[in-house]
Structure 1
């Protein structure tokens, strides 16, 4: 009977204080939603990638060569220790139709790096082709398409016209905007395609795809997978370094054998011609003595002339043969490139970097949000127990045990917190990961998010939620129930006021009105509530400041980098050996009407050697020929002091993020190396503001000292009159038509990378900012409600004494507004700290976020928080207008 009655009492407690119940419920929903949602988003993204790679058996390593892969290469590669499977195929870069769109056509894969069919079917007949599914916007199934191979590439495709039979998604490219460089079109690949292997005509294969026994079954983003990939890559490179010299000897031996045969044939022809010429000369001399007939002499003369022409052809052939011999002697060994998944596809690492950014956010944003929610929930439950003193006394007087009485409050806390945590966990598992994934999949080819259930983080969230609701209910009732029923029937004595510091400053205290004096005293009279309000408001403001600042730090990257710092639009890099004709064509760019200005530079991609950075960092070295005009292309300046930096005769200016990664500063020495392992040692004379990529800038004289070589301009830095994406693409295409071009680097590609990253992180920040605003609403409402409940008799008293409704509301809400102001300023400091931590942890090695705080974001955060406070004052005002004054004043003393 007592149990049934107690259950009714518990039910009545819930239904009778639904506002408090919903407050705790809402706090737990918000906290657990953000906490669990962000904690599982990163793992969900990586699980999606892992499943896709495993389904399509993405190769662990790929091998390419400047001379292709012949039978000996294939045999050596297949025999490397640990290789589980090796597949060899062809590829060719082509232009689609008469467009500038360059794609890489592969031979159809076997078991490794397969394709996902998006529509249509796989190529099965001659002249069938399947295109990248991203190109389905421009082409359709059944359409006939022409593949144009430029003169700069080897013609290895048998046919040019193909029928589109399908659209596919490759497991080797997951970045929608970056497919790598090519020697045709604009210098950038725009997609891929594949055809049957019989469509290729080549004596050598072009690519090897490999899987390894010790990497089978490992997660692609685990440390073990990466370490074994590095080990296998090094082993393959060591074997191929030996193979390179062996193959060179083989090619030279075979070449010299063929040339020797050609030389023998040439010598025989030469001897035969010499014999014929000698015979005709003898015949001519004999005939002139016997019968000096002019007709006969003419015939012999013509025959000799014909033989002389043949002799000249043999001399030319001999000269050509000598050139071939010299070329064969000067031939360099083939260069084998062994790529792991990361180096083969930039999107592979970008996607995991995006997922780890979410992990970083999950360690700060939801933790702070959850902590605030838990803190306010704890206060709410504590206040609830204090409000129910008379109920405790009644139950105790009726003979209920302390354990039974505590059950009422513990069940209340358990139900409200558990329901909130349950809803938050479900929404966190199902909704937030999809929002995050959809944001980042806008720049990647991944789809069909794999949702995982995290028991670990769900349990952690439930434990925190229950600790914040059940524990205070247990502890407070335990302390309260030590009193007897008679004392429990008496209301708890209000907080005793005391003199505050302002009272000791007469010239301020005397000028304050009565209401402001009461406000000042009450702030310190209820110290716990004051602290909770400041902490709650500060936390919400800090989350808003952090969210807005991170969004702006990223949004400003492109504008700052390509508006204030870098002014050029393209860098055109030449090949090593350029003919004078081709060089004149490149120099003619200066007179092009689309070009605003250009400059000759030495351009080289180096890498860092310092082990403190996370792997080797690609560093772009730019050395201007004319130092005086260089500032028109790049503004070198210190970010904090805005001091302009110049390139001296010694040393180098490096970008800020590179300096941070390598832990170097002005005056330190830096060592970099190029792809041929040549080392450049330089003294750092300046650190320049830069947000995307790593750069080293040197004068020509400083370069010569560092490289121990004379300056050689191998590239052009170009700024266009109208740098639209279309114009940049057009200029890149025009430059790549020059046979001397090795590559064209376009700033539009970097802008696209920044924009895709910005879109993803912005979507996440919008969700978190909304959560912070909702938290601010619930927190301020809850704390204000507690304040009103604690002082209801006091408010009723001043209302009876003649205070107007507006004055009663201001009597109590003036404190809330003042505490909110204190909380907002504290939130600025806390938000600035969170922002600093996040921008240090969030970006990749190649990106730096601006650490500067924008006043507009501080103002916006303050306005949102204060607007929430003021809007809730309307609810408080309405509540106080309808307060039962007599009921409150008749409460038992």
Structure 2
């Protein structure tokens, strides 16, 4: 390359700075979208992985229906792949918060350093009577570090009060080391506690001060976790045993490799020791029970026949009364909010992978347009260089290097925005949903380089194609002016009546539009791509906005869900009926407000290998009878929208067992890929797990609900003898559901051995009145929680998705502006002689503006017409790919979103016209029309 050639190349680059800037900006936007959303999610993933590893969250945890012993610990230590073992004890308790009974889990801080709570304020408890609580409890209770509180093991609530509110004699009435009474083998905890610190539970990363307060995954009951030291905790039976797997800590917990390593150890546990230890634990309890009976018999007076007979009766029933022990081998993926965090980030990351494809296509399209025009303008110079002996590759390098330099500069700026700006923006939103300490912004050299390389390759190929079309000609041909395109008739000319009525300039415009098909497709395609991106972003936003209305007005048929203790259900129901605003007319015949059992549970798919698959937390709703289901929700098939036959769920109404099962909400089933007829594992509130059949998947967009009848609940999980309120709906002659329905007691608080603990009610009045009544009801001491659908509809927000949508729309708008500006300048540059001719013919500047801008406006409108349905289609593909637990995205696009997308694109087109009109004014007819020979 000679010095003159290089100098001329640099001058050529300087003259075309607008084209350079357009390619660089388009590349910058594309790389920023490609890397930014990915980087924000990756930073949160890596931060969560580091945090969970630092707190040593378990890789595998074992729980059992009959507890775990030191023998189980020894057996687990011997399993190949188990690196460390930690025993843990916990107990259920209640505490009064703002006058209401709330459930709390007392958890022992492990002595081997696993599952450690993260200290946020104060210090961790070290001696009996000290406790660490979460920010959620501090926010709800108003207690602070140094305050004291009482808890009650089991269902009997005690008081919670601030230290400064307690009198000296009241303070003296308790003791920090006081322990509740109980069996020596059963875990017992101190009940009079002093708060020493505020901690973050590694199992619950939801931000209690952020969006989670009204989140779509909020459960029906309030749950707190208290952390206590081993000092003061007694009991030889463990609630859980946590395991660390060899080599797992060195792996990213969100990768398939980590899952494979942990799964191998879990399967080893399930196949080698689980059955043996389950049987051994049951036999141990049988032996202990028999020993207690033998001891009692030895002490009993042999002359008392009645006592002897009772002991004989107990001895005979020991083995049958003790159930088989069942182990549940859980992995980290089922721990607390782990799956929610992973699913949310994966869904947002999927958007980050999809949108850059459109940006890349538009970048290639614009580069091809820009570089083709740039090469055509230098046609004579290219011929001259070829005549002087310069090679085709060297000549083409003038333009390829120009495009590559623009791509590299734009890509570098895009990486800066993508790895710093966008992630910082996303993390602000993510931190409003999840608390993950220590998240930092990291640069991924591999991903960042690949992102730039994609655009470099795409633009380079487009430039090479543009150059190849010219350098294949002979030098003499290139040094002569390019022959104008031969005239041809357009389709409108063949429509005689229309063509004859068109004005001359309109005919010229029509010919210019359709004769230059390359410019037509480039402009329409570029505008369509940008419009589609804007529509797609707005479609996601509209879909999210439509969720609360769809769920809380169209799907749910109740207004209030009141959760209480089973023993308090009847008085609460009576108080509800005293309120004239409670509508009882929607309940089934002879029934009152719909009673049900509401509890938190978990649904797990069954993998092809037969083991556990993916899991999600669900809200399990059990109604006494099937005809009450329609009082709670509108059950329609998620496949075709037809009404689901819920009456078949009753034994008297179904023909065979295949008609029974549970109904899973679509918002829960979609994330796990569950369909009607599948078999899944369901866990109830008592941690019992059983295999159930999915009767149907019902239309739902928010929440993860699973519905069943009390009869099926008893069949699945078992149950005690039917209480006084239980009924038997089967009839001897099998006459059907009608006769059974006549004998049903809809006011019974226990049906088929299943204790009800919730009331679903309709409210007559405004939304404000409903919310106010729910707030008053929640303050009553025997009410655990009250859910108002009006309040949920108002408070529903998904700011993470909203932030991503705003980002996408902003970047798509910027892309549209750059594309329109590039197309307009290209259009003007290739028609300079035409514009000069118009000026010579006497056209005023404003008439020249109209002549040129009319074509661009028409092409823009055509691009908009193509882009609107294209955006709707792309939006549907993206929302279908967003598999998030608790949310189902049924794509919705409001009419004004289409209008906004069209208006924004048109506004950018008009803005570009204002920028290009001065360029038209500066065209000099004399210099533009002089011979190029």
TM-score interval, smaller chain = 0.7 to 0.9
Match in the other structure for 1:302: none
The alpha carbon displacement at 1:380 in A equals 0.7
Distance 1:254 1:640, change over 3 A: closer
Say yes or no: does 1:691 pair with 2:701: yes
Compared with structure 1, are the counterparts of its residues 16 and 189 closer, same or farther at alpha carbon in structure 2 (3 Å cutoff)? same
Q: Does 1:786 align with 2:826?
A: yes
Match 2:894 to one of 854, 865, 885: 854
**SS of structure 2 residue aligned to 1:208:** strand
Which of 757, 760, 763 aligns to 1:718? It is: 760
Give the secondary-structure state (helix, strand or coil) at the position aligned to 2:231: helix
Q: CA deviation at 1:630?
A: 5.1
Number of the residue aligned with 1:357: 347
Q: 1:146 aligns with which of 145, 149, 153?
A: 149
Query: What CA deviation, in whole Å up to 9, does each residue of 1:759-805 have, x standing for no partner?
Result: 11221121111111000000011011101111111112112222232
Determine whether 1:795 maps to 2:835.
yes
Within 2, Cα distance between the matches of 1:208 and 1:672?
Answer: 25
Q: Does 1:250 align with 2:284?
A: yes
1:415 alignment counterpart: 405
SS at match of 2:239: strand
Rounded Cα–Cα distance in structure 1 between residues aligned with 2:602 and 2:233: 36
Against the structure 1 CA distance between its residues 85 and 449, is the aligned structure 2 distance closer, same or farther, given a 3 Å change threshold? same
Partner residue of 1:9?
8
2:115 corresponds to? 113
Greater mean deviation of Cα atoms: 155-164 or 425-434: 155-164
For 1:505 and 1:566, how far apart are their aligned partners in 2? 57
1:168 match:
199
- For 1:324 and 1:139, the matched residues in 2 are separated by 52
d(CA) in 2 for partners of 1:51, 1:657: 30
Spell out, residue by residue over 1:467-513, the C-alpha distance to the aligned partner (whole angstroms, 9 max, x if none).
34444545544553455666545443333331011111101111111
Give secondary structure in 1 for the equivalent of 2:501: coil
Q: Does 1:591 align with 2:577?
A: yes
1:94–1:148 CA contact under 8 A, matched in 2: yes
Report Cα offsets for 1:357-398 as digits up to 9, x if no partner.
Answer: 133213321111122022202211221121123444565677
Give the deviation of 1:148 after TM superposition.
2.1
C-alpha distance after superposition, 1:225-272 (max 9, x if no partner): 32443443354456344434433333343334334433443417x77x
Secondary structure at 1:158 match in 2: coil
CA offsets, 1:37-96, max 9 Å, x none? 234444333222222222222211223345543444444444444321111233345556
Q: How do residues 446-595 of structure 1 correspond to structure 2 at under 5 angstroms?
A: 446-477=436-467, 479-481=469-471, 487-568=477-558, 584-585=570-571, 588=574, 590-591=576-577, 593=579
SS in structure 2 of the partner of residue 198 of structure 1: coil
Check if 1:831 corresponds to 2:871.
yes
Q: Relative to structure 2, which stretch is displaced further, 820-829 or 392-401?
A: 392-401
Counterpart contact for 1:266–1:318, Cα < 8 Å = no
Is contact 1:839–1:849 with CA below 8 Å preserved after alignment? yes
Q: Distance in 1 between matches of 2:308 and 2:570?
A: 31
Deviation at 1:536?
0.5
1:88 counterpart residue number: 87
CA pair 566-776 structure 1, distance change in 2 beyond 3 A: same
Q: Verify the 8 A CA contact 2:206 2:434 in the aligned structure 1.
A: yes
Q: State the partner residue of 1:890.
A: 930
Q: What is the CA distance between 1:542 and its match in structure 2?
A: 1.0
Question: Aligned-pair distance for 1:530?
Answer: 0.6
1:733-756 CA-to-partner distances (Å, cap 9, x unmatched) read 75567xxxxxx8968899699956
Instruction: Give, in angstroms, the shift of residue 606 of structure 1.
Output: 8.7
Gaps of 5+ in 1: 180-184, 272-313, 738-743
Cα 1:442/1:661, change in 2 over 3 Å? closer
For residues 541 and 58 of structure 2, what CA distance do their matches in structure 1 show? 37
The 5 A counterparts of 1:263-662 are 263-267=297-301, 330-345=321-336, 347-393=337-383, 404-477=394-467, 479-481=469-471, 487-568=477-558, 584-585=570-571, 588=574, 590-591=576-577, 593=579, 596-597=583-584, 598-601=593-596, 615=614, 631-637=630-636, 647-648=646-647, 649-650=653-654, 651=659, 655-656=665-666
Determine if contact 2:93/2:154 at 8 Å carries over to the other structure. no
Which of residues 258, 263, 273 is equivalent to 1:225? 258
Please say which of residues 881-890 and 323-332 is displaced more in the overlay: 323-332
Is the 8 Å Cα contact of residues 375 and 468 (structure 1) preserved in structure 2? Answer: no
Which has the greater radius of gyration?
1
Quote the Cα distance in structure 2 between the aligned partners of 1:487 and 1:582: 96
Cα separation, 2, equivalents of 1:697 and 1:122? 41
In structure 2, relative to structure 1, the CA distance for the partners of 1:216 and 1:654 (3 Å cut) is closer
**Deviations, residues 97-118 of structure 1 (Å, cap 9, x unaligned):** 7545654343333321223333
Task: Report the Cα distance in structure 2 between the residues aligned to 1:74 and 1:736, rounded to whole angstroms.
Answer: 40
Instruction: State the distance in 2 between where 1:140 and 1:619 align.
Output: 30
Work out whether residues 601 and 717 of structure 1, in 8 Å CA contact, stay in contact via their aligned partners in 2. Answer: yes
User: Which range moves more in the overlay, 759-768 or 526-535?
Assistant: 759-768
For the 8 Å contact 2:334–2:615, the answer to whether it is kept is no
Secondary structure of 2:198's match? Answer: strand
**Structure 1 stretch 643-652 or stretch 365-374: which is displaced more?**
643-652
Separation (CA, whole Å) in 2 of partners of 1:325 and 1:736: 42
Classify 1:506/1:669 alpha carbon distance in 2 versus 1 (closer, same or farther; 3 Å): same
Of 221-230 and 367-376, the range deviating more from structure 2: 221-230
Structure 2 CA distance for partners of 1:96 and 1:670, relative to 1, 3 Å: closer
Partner of 1:189: 223
- Judging changes above 3 Å, is the alpha-carbon distance between structure 1 residues 569 and 78 closer, same or farther for their aligned structure 2 residues? farther
- State the secondary structure of the residue aligned to 1:364: helix
Question: 1:220 and 1:701, CA in 2 relative to 1: closer, same or farther beyond 3 A?
Answer: closer
CA pair 135-621 structure 1, distance change in 2 beyond 3 A: closer
Counterpart selection for 1:727 from 761, 771, 774: 774
Residues 674/696 of structure 1: CA separation in 2 closer, same or farther (3 Å cut):
closer
Is contact 1:600–1:626 with CA below 8 Å preserved after alignment? no
Q: How do 1:861-880 residues align onto structure 2 when only pairs under 5 Å count?
A: 861-880=901-920
Indicate the larger mover: 386-395 or 837-846.
386-395
Task: Give the 3-state SS of the residue equivalent to 1:211 in structure 2.
Answer: strand
Aligned partner of 2:159 in structure 1 is none
Task: Quote the Cα distance in structure 1 between the aligned partners of 2:777 and 2:523.
Answer: 60
CA distance in 1, matches of 2:491, 2:632: 61
1:187 and 1:736 in contact (8 A); partners too: no
Is contact 1:682–1:706 with CA below 8 Å preserved after alignment? Answer: no
Q: Which stretch shows the higher mean deviation, 492-501 or 628-637?
A: 628-637
Q: Is the 8 A contact 1:187 1:732 kept in 2?
A: no
CA distance in 1, matches of 2:524, 2:137: 55
Matches within 5 A, 1:38-187: 38-94=37-93, 98-99=97-98, 100=100, 102-109=103-110, 110-125=112-127, 127-133=129-135, 142-152=145-155, 156-158=188-190, 160-164=192-196, 166-176=197-207, 187=221
Give the Cα separation in 2 of the matches to 1:256 and 1:129.
Answer: 38
Matched residues in 2 for 1:749 and 1:214: separation?
49
Gaps of 5+ in 2: 157-179, 182-187, 214-218, 585-592, 648-652, 719-726, 730-750, 764-768
Contact map agreement 2:379 2:478 (CA 8 A) in 1? yes
| Distance (whole Å) between structure 1 residues aligned to residue 8 and residue 148 of structure 2 | 78
Question: Which residue, 228, 231, 244 being the options, matches 1:198?
Answer: 231
- Structure 1 residues 611 and 201, CA gap change in structure 2 (3 angstroms): closer
Contact 1:21 1:416 in 2 (8 A): yes
SS of 1:883 mapped into structure 2: coil
Instruction: Summarize the Cα distance change of 1:142–1:692 in structure 2 as closer, same or farther, 3 Å threshold.
Output: closer
User: In structure 1, what is the Cα distance between the partners aligned to 2:70 and 2:118?
Assistant: 30
Judge which range, 713-722 or 614-623, deviates more. Answer: 614-623
TM-score, normalised to structure 1's length?
0.81
Output the TM-score relative to the length of structure 2: 0.78
